[in-house]
Structure 1
Amino acid sequence: MKPVNFSIRFCNKAISSSLLILCLTGFTLPAQAIQSAYTAFADGDGDIYTIAKNGKLRWFQHTGRMSGADTWTNFGTAKIVGDKATGNNLLNSKVFSGDDGIIYTITNSGKLLWSRHDGRFTGSQVWANSGKLTPIGTGWNKYAHVFSGGDGIIYAITTDGKMLWFRHSGWLDGTNKWAKSSGTQVGKGWQDTVKVFSGGNGVIYSIMSSGLLRWHQHKGRLAGTDDWANNGAQRQVGHNWQGFRQVFTGGDGIIYGIKANGDPVWNRHIGWLTGADAWAPEPNNESGSIIATGWILP
């Protein structure tokens, strides 16, 4: 069993659970649907954010992220950090990390907002601009998927499968400055993608409706050119990933998945820079490592 084949095992353990995903039926978003779940993300330094059912932004710090150990700052207890920057409620928004404390929010009306959590290393409520959300764009609710590639790069996938590249030049301070070539199409054929996220260094992971986990590397990410590793050919690095409520990277090949009952699962793709199907040793002779319990998401 490959390290990524853990979703079937988890579904078998969650037969009675109807929370968040329909694990037994292999429920996924239909092709070309707009992804509604942006409820958990990480910034690559062990800091993980989740949105609680009351809409507040929670902060955790996974000190065991490199090994998959169940070790956390504050014994794994969440800290509420979003009161100042979110108006206490994120239930009608999509929130994702831009790395280095940068957090982007897409409102239900399509506004793109910038914020920076300066208290990310300790979980304190310290935010740039006194927590003020800064508007930097509109019309972002029309895309099927939106995610950051780091360094101000933002990818958007249209409902017909085109991948567009943007670069927020003001990503560090929240100024509304963008690269002139923002909006350039850098790919196509992404319409069967149900979840997609960056792994850093141009690496992009996509999960298909069939449950396949695919690896891509955008070599032209800094300039916004249509330049990809392997002449654009993706590599399959896993399967049975369709059962997770949320999947996101923790940097350095670390991938977190939130399963049906809210438990976060850790795995590490050792071949993340090359696309090799190589994973960290399977803990306890099973795939994936449960590192906490009960992260119920809205």
Structure 2
Amino acid sequence: MPDVIYSLAGKRVYVAGHRGMVGSAIVRRLESEGCEILTVAHAEVDLRRQDQVEAWMAKNRPDAVFLAAAKVGGILANDTYPADFLYDNLILEANVIHAAYEARVEKLMFLGSSCIYPKLADQPIVEDALLTGSLEPTNEWYAIAKIAGLKLCAAYRKQHGKDFISAMPTNLYGPGDNFDLASSHVMPALIRKAHEAKVNGDKEIRIWGTGTPKREFLHVDDCADACVYLMKTYSAESHVNVGSGKDISILELAQLVAEVIGFEGDITRDLTKPDGTPRKLMSADKLRRLGWSPKIGLKEGIADAYHSFLNGHYLKRHIEAAE
């Protein structure tokens, strides 16, 4: 492991978005760091309200911030509510980042998304591919907000010398995921579809599109571990991809999910639905050079996510991810 340049021990660490999947995983991971974890409910502080965010930050004075709060959703949600995804994410990240600067926060990590990259970027996607081509139209609103967030961190570093860094996770899944079929991502949607088909005795489950697009997945606990690792060992303007370095087709993923859950029916394709980006695999080379690699395999991770779903450990509404 590289030298620790920022120890979290004894620090007051604010996790924005602690009720979301990523934020709750970061909270779990921080419990072994010897720090004081700060969180605040949406009912007390609406991150879209600048006055509320600045007042809370000034009063509580965190030393470090993990900005994991976001309004998130899949293709359908992004395509249906473009204004919500752009405005809510822009405003909440700007509020938290500026308030952290005003409150003299020592270090901040902004969590982005792999959708920041061009739709047809060379694979695997390196960090330098940012802003080299057009975005995937079905989620460009969310992507633009996330690009603005990482650039805002870079701007505060350049103008004010703040140690604000950015990490770009790949597709995440695991405890605390959103299993609402109207707003979820592909992994939780497949898990829920396979479970309900098994319970109901259905003969098939249907996936969107051709099933040929390839996607990369990382268990959220691995993501949280990588984020804490980077917070302690990394300081630079450029963002870092956080991923597994491996991808799988949607059809193969559906087959693996069915195997883990025990659904023995057919998997059919709805060719009237969009595929989205043909392939999206981020390069993990930079993160590997920094000394971090994932520990949870895909099959093991799916089993853990399914166990969490059965135990009710998931979001009831996708908007809670912004709390």
Q: Provide the TM-score with structure 2 as the length reference.
A: 0.26
Question: Which structure carries more helix by proportion?
Answer: 2
Query: Which of the pair has the greater relative contact order for Cα pairs under 8 Å at 6+ separation?
Result: 2
Bigger radius of gyration:
2
Structure with greater proportional strand content:
1
